A and B are shown apart, each in its own frame.
Chain A
Amino acid sequence: MAKLDPQEPVFSRLSYWLVIALSLCWLIPLFWVLGLSFKPNEELSYGLGTVFRAPYTLDNYSDLIRSSQLGRWILNSVVVSIIQTVLVLIICSIAGYGFARLEFPGRRALFVFVLIGLAIPRQAIIIPLHAMFVDLDLHNTYTGLILPHLGTPFGVFLMASYFRALPRELEEAAALDNASRWKIFLTIALPLSVPAQITLAIFTFLDAWNDYLWPLISATRPEMYTLTIGLAATQTNFDQSEGIGYLMAQAVFAGLPMLILYLIFQKYVLRAVAGAGGR
């Protein structure tokens, strides 16, 4: 990282202060929403400007906890995101290793074939995928929510390039000991690939957690909604909602766990995202 230069040029310092100013723009909406969530709904109907003065209340949060299906939706999101992440890690690590390290007939062609998949936009196959899952009777199930992401080649691509960059010597030594390919993979390559695994895990988890279009058309029973869909359903019509304060409490309640998780693991998250770029 660049050293902080005491003689830092004006230009650089200026840009730093500009970015600090910009970061305020990133913060203001968050505080605005937090503030609104503590306001009684009736008062907000006079105008959102009332956020700057008392009274404040916890009613929105207690209403939320007492009544809404938010808990169920969060559970659905957690289940889907975690299972999806675990499965993607397993499948992509194994396949990535296969493509990176093992020789087999047609490997090159197959890898190119898989890479082409990077260019297939998920949203462009959603209609046939929906029809396919109708035939398989998979809508409104966790399986139906998880499966479509397991065929995405990004993870294979990421893991393959990571395995390829690992030094071969360690594996060769083990190969001389007559260890099987599988054993070499499990005992040597896999532990070394933890940084890439973390990267892939974070990307997959975020992707699953934030997925919108697929759950929108697949999870159509309210109890199968993911958090994203459940919250979306409540905001299409501010007219019929239970008040802006209540909606904002929902937003905070739904967003906060992820933000807290992120703050706790920020070091890993940021390193992992940067790691994906290094590939």
Chain B
Amino acid sequence: MTTLVGVDAARGRRAARAGWWSRWAGLAFVAPFLVLYLWLMIYPLVSGVIMSFQYKDLLSGTSEFVGFWNYEDLSIDPIFIGSIFNTLRFVILTVPAFVVLGLLIALALNRPTRGAAIMRTLFFGPHVLSVTVVTLIWKTVYLPNVGMIDAGSTALGLGPLSILLNPDWALAAVALVTVWWSIGLPMMLFLAALQQVPQDIYEAARLDSASPLRILWTITIPSISKMIVLVAVIEVVLQFQVFGQVNLLTGGGPNNTTRSMVMFIYQAGFQQWQAGYAAAASQILFAIMLVAAGLQFWVSRKPAES
């Protein structure tokens, strides 16, 4: 009797242990990532918030609580406010271009020909280059007086355009480089979505002899609307963080028209050694991005739901 009870108990314990294990095994799978995530994303996020309320010197590392001082200073810093507007302008210049142009290219190249395949490869190609190679290339295109564009415009009798020096055009020029560099991603995402649209809908539409524009508007775009939103959100998140192209092509000029928020953060931190100030600017960037991405998601969601 006792032995039986003992065996039962042992079996029960084993079962319980197995149950315990199967209950928690999953956690063991996700634990390594969670640790890294907490350590390298959440902890810096929180310490960044704390730092934004400190006067922190980058070089000495000394810090002192200053309340909202950094934020107050940011709110009257014309360069910071300018950088917010520059960044917004950049997002407005690039994101629609990525969505519209990406979709147009995808539509045109959504065919099984060799030519289309070659062009898909070509459009995606610059995406594998690093930002510094891209800016090296485009610097010689934009170089005032002697660059490709100015040489061309001079030959046409227009005189040098010096695009990167023109406060009205410099940011657009950087946006153009960005589109050239990374149109491949939206194009491929749209192609993937287009190929999942069932062909029979098109057949039916063609039988109704609907115009291609109508087909595009009533069938294609609604069928891939989810992807359009996804591409827009991805690009908003990416382009809000623009830094490399600006830093290397214009350095924030001319007349501060291209200084982006991330560039401001970098300069505050590493030129002026004001880590607390830079951390406060980072929080504003984070907040604006959250709002922008959320807003966009919400706006594009609405019609689909109704």
Contact = CB atoms under 8 A, between A and B. Distances in A.
Interface of A: 1-4, 9, 11-12, 15-16, 18-20, 22-23, 25-30, 32-33, 36, 47-49, 91-92, 94-95, 97-99, 101-107, 110, 114, 117, 119-132, 134, 147-148, 150-153, 156, 181-182, 185, 206, 209-210, 212-213, 216-217, 227-229, 231-232, 235-236, 238, 244, 247-248, 250-251, 254-255, 258-259, 261-263, 266, 269-270, 273-278
Interface string B266-297: 10011000010011001101100110010000
Nearest to A92: B33
Contacts of A148: 40
Given A114-B37, A151-B40, A236 B111 contact: no
User: Among B48, B122, B247, which residue has the most Cβ atoms of chain A within 10 A?
Assistant: B48
Contacts of A228: 130-132, 244
A254 B140 contact: no
Contacts of A124: 48, 241, 265, 282-283, 285-286, 289
B26 A270 contact: no
Given A1-B111, A127-B51, A277-B192, A258 B33 contact: no
Nearest to B27: A104
B192 A278 contact: yes
A119 B44 contact: no
Contacts of A274: 188-189, 191-192, 195
Nearest to B127: A206
B255 interface: no
Contact of A152 (B39, B41, B123, B199): B41
B139 A122 contact: no
A123 B285 contact: yes
Contacts of A232: 131-132, 135, 244, 247-248
Interface in B256-272: 262, 265-266, 269-270
27 contacts: A16-B108, A47-B151, A48-B140, A49-B146, A94-B29, A102-B26, A114-B34, A117-B37, A117-B42, A123-B243, A123-B285, A151-B41, A152-B41, A181-B22, A206-B128, A212-B243, A212-B244, A217-B270, A227-B130, A228-B132, A235-B135, A248-B140, A258-B130, A261-B128, A276-B189, A277-B189, A277-B230
Given A134-B61, A254-B130, A119 B293 contact: yes
B122 A273 contact: no
A18 B107 CA distance: 12
B128 A258 contact: yes
A28 B147 CA distance: 13
B107 A15 contact: yes
Contacts of A244: 140
Interface in B33-54: 33-34, 36-45, 47-48, 51
B306 interface: no
Contact of A26 (B34, B126, B193): B126
Nearest to A216: B266
> What does DSSP make chain A's interface, helix, strand, loop or mixed?
helix
Given A235-B248, A266-B121, A255 B135 contact: no
B299 interface: no
Contacts of B126: 26
A15 B279 contact: no
Contact of A254 (B107, B133, B191): B133
Given A104-B25, A251-B137, A270 B120 contact: yes
B110 interface: yes
A85 B27 CA distance: 23
A36 B37 contact: no
Interface in B100-121: 104-105, 107-113, 115-116, 119-121
Given A212-B130, A277-B190, 4 more contacts: A48-B148, A104-B25, A125-B44, A231-B130
Contacts of A103: 22-23, 26
A156 B33 contact: yes
Contact of B130 (A104, A210, A216): A210
A4 B109 CA distance: 11
A3 B248 CA distance: 44
Contacts of B135: 232, 235
A85 B24 CA distance: 28
A98 B265 contact: no
Given A156-B33, A235-B136, A4 B111 contact: yes
B122 A26 contact: yes
Given A4-B112, A49-B151, A125 B29 contact: no
B124 interface: yes
B129 interface: yes
A119 B45 CA distance: 12
B157 interface: no
B2 interface: no
A251 B133 contact: yes
A127 B133 contact: no
Contact of B129 (A128, A255, A266): A255
